[in-house]
Amino acid sequence: MEDTLSIVEAREQLTRLPEQFDEELKTRRNVSAIKVTRHNKPVLAILPWELYESIVETLEILGDEELMADLRQSIQDAAEGKGEPWEAVKRELAGRNTSRLASSKGQPLTTPTPPHHHPSPPPLKTHSPAAAHWWVASRRPAS
């Protein structure tokens, strides 16, 4: 897909862009924004919604001093070999959901995972601080 369109070309292609973004994602595994120009000067960017959300989330994280401090500490800990292997964490989290008993009958209680807690990482389309934020946030003790 072209990464620059004139405003006239963008208007003509607008309804086809979502499918073009999907196709680009399938073939290149990532998607970039399209620069829209007027008189050869950039005036707009058109990008898939998921990319927009990722950028906004990244900016929110970068603007949060506490999260950034946690992220820096997590990066330092990882560089020093601290932490647990992901597979071990997954097993531990899976065990938490089925280890309690519902009653004296011995029936396992399957507790749904709370909405703020992810048992496995979300599929990542981009490599951004948002991915690291998820890991930092998921490792914090519940308040």
pLDDT above 70 for 136: no
Extents of the domains making up the chain: 4-47, 52-139
Confidence grade of residue 117 (pLDDT, cut at 50, 70, 90): very low
pLDDT above 60 for 140: no
CA 27 to CA 56: how far, in whole Å? 25
Residue-wise pLDDT tens digits, 31-85: 889 999 999 999 999 999 988 999 999 999 999 999 999 999 999 988 888 888 8
Q: Map tokens 């981009």 to a residue.
A: 126
Residue-wise pLDDT tens digits, 7-33: 999 999 999 999 988 888 888 877 889
pLDDT above 70 for 90: yes
Sheet with 41-46, edge to edge strand ranges: 4-6, 34-38, 41-46
Which pLDDT score, from 0 to 100, does residue 65 have?
94
- Note the pTM of the prediction, 2 decimals: 0.51
